[in-house]
Structure 1
Amino acid sequence: MAAPILEVDMEHPSPRHLQRAVEVLERGGLLAYPTDTYFGLGCDLSSKKGIERLYQLKGRDKKKPLSFLCPDLSDVARYAHVSNFAYRTMKGLTPGAFTFILEATRLVPDLMMSKQKQVGIRVPDSPLVRELARALGRPLVTTSATNTEGEPLTDAKDIKAELGHGLDLILDGGVTLNEPSTVISLIGDSLEILRQGKGRLED
């Protein structure tokens, strides 16, 4: 059965809607939700079942780690080694359309790390997603919602038609922009743009 669609306010999500989404995540379920970049598909970082299901739904190679979303910078420091340089850089760019590549801590499941023990972490400019991660108490593993050709899905109804069979709940905050985050490596205290996306770096 295809996942139900729940209309939510992206700026001020109601506690009732957040609670329903959290209950799905806590039992290893998969959500679709709008972010400040692509429509995302996600699960609870602590749910091995959820992470396995997410890889399966995306048809993604497990050698390609997924990134995850944190509610704020203090949360990032639990899952990644954040130097003074990394902290100052992220402080100026969060919340925003950036994914930061950092060295992982032991709290990160092996499935979520590259061979180099690195992770991709975002603090999105999306009150809905940050509140969801805060209510869950753990980061959200995330990947973009795409069709079989790999093209981004920007509407909840299209997501239901294409991916609803593998999801448990779709949060609908309206049509979202389809531009990826900018990926920045902060490894070794140097800044390198690995993918230019929506996030723009000022000089």
Structure 2
Amino acid sequence: MSNSIPVSDINRALDVLRAGGLILYPTDTIWGVGCDATNPAAVERVYQLKGRDQRKSLIVLLDNENKLPGYVDEVPEIAYQLIEYTERPLTIVYSGAKNLASNLIAEDGSIGIRIVNHPFCSPLLQRFRKPLVSTSANLSGQHAPKNFSEISQEIINGVDYVASYGQDDDREKQASMVMKLEPGGKFSFLRR
């Protein structure tokens, strides 16, 4: 797999995101369908493409943990330690989501957020300056793709841009760990 990312690849993804479109892109875990996490119409398109029940919330990606307070009412101090020391990608479900599309937030007001460190996602997020939706690139009820070759044509045809970076990476990837973190610091694993 090539380590260099064509600037045009990120630029085209940015253009689509800024226009309210959907992208198919590699992440620090599995390939994801993404959009502007502050745009309710774009989020609705993600649910429709996947055939996903809107009561099942989606997660968002940020490039830096310092941005968490912009999207969560109260970030427990332990969150920063968990993010810093985890060995695997970790999605943390926080209470009190804010400044995100309302159809992205769970009924209980929570949101799952993962801080990414990835050669494509990180610069994309830095330049976009908003959180991105990230949901596995599969139809609801089907297995999440372990690499690009497992993504269905229906998903590929349903997005407005497919990133070229990472398509030739045939390593099997896995989803992140998911942990629910209460404002007081109590946590539980939802997926290991």
TM range (shorter): 0.7 to 0.9
Q: In structure 1, what is the equivalent of residue 38 of structure 2?
A: 46
Which of 10, 15, 33 is the equivalent residue of 1:23? Answer: 15
Matched residue count: 187
Secondary structure of the equivalent of 1:44?
A: coil
Q: In structure 2, what is the equivalent of residue 71 of structure 1?
A: 63
The reply to whether residue 119 of structure 1 matches residue 115 of structure 2 is no
The reply to whether residue 92 of structure 1 matches residue 85 of structure 2 is yes
Q: In structure 1, what is the equivalent of residue 179 of structure 2?
A: 184
Q: In structure 2, what is the equivalent of residue 134 of structure 1?
A: 126
Instruction: Write the deviation string for residues 128-169 of structure 1: whole angstroms up to 9, x where unpaired.
Output: 112111111101111001257512234445536232221111
Q: Distance in 1 between matches of 2:69 and 2:55?
A: 24
Given that 2:89 and 2:116 are in contact with CA atoms closer than 8 Å, whether structure 1 keeps it comes out as yes
Amino acid at match of 2:176: S
The reply to whether residue 166 of structure 1 matches residue 161 of structure 2 is no
Shift of 1:93: 2.8
Which of 35, 47, 51 is the equivalent residue of 1:59? Answer: 51
Q: In structure 2, what is the equivalent of residue 195 of structure 1?
A: 191
> Measured at CA, do residues 186 and 74 of structure 1 come closer, stay the same or move farther in structure 2, by a change above 3 Å?
same
What RMSD over aligned residues (CA atoms) do the two structures have, in Å?
A: 2.2
Q: Distance in 2 between matches of 1:84 and 1:164?
A: 39
Given that 1:79 and 1:105 are in contact with CA atoms closer than 8 Å, whether structure 2 keeps it comes out as yes
Q: Distance in 1 between matches of 2:66 and 2:15?
A: 24
Q: TM-score, normalised by structure 2?
A: 0.87
List alignment gaps of at least 5 residues for structure 1.
1-7, 197-203
Secondary structure of the equivalent of 2:85?
A: helix
Given that 1:35 and 1:126 are in contact with CA atoms closer than 8 Å, whether structure 2 keeps it comes out as yes
Secondary structure of the equivalent of 2:94?
A: strand
List alignment gaps of at least 5 residues for structure 2.
none
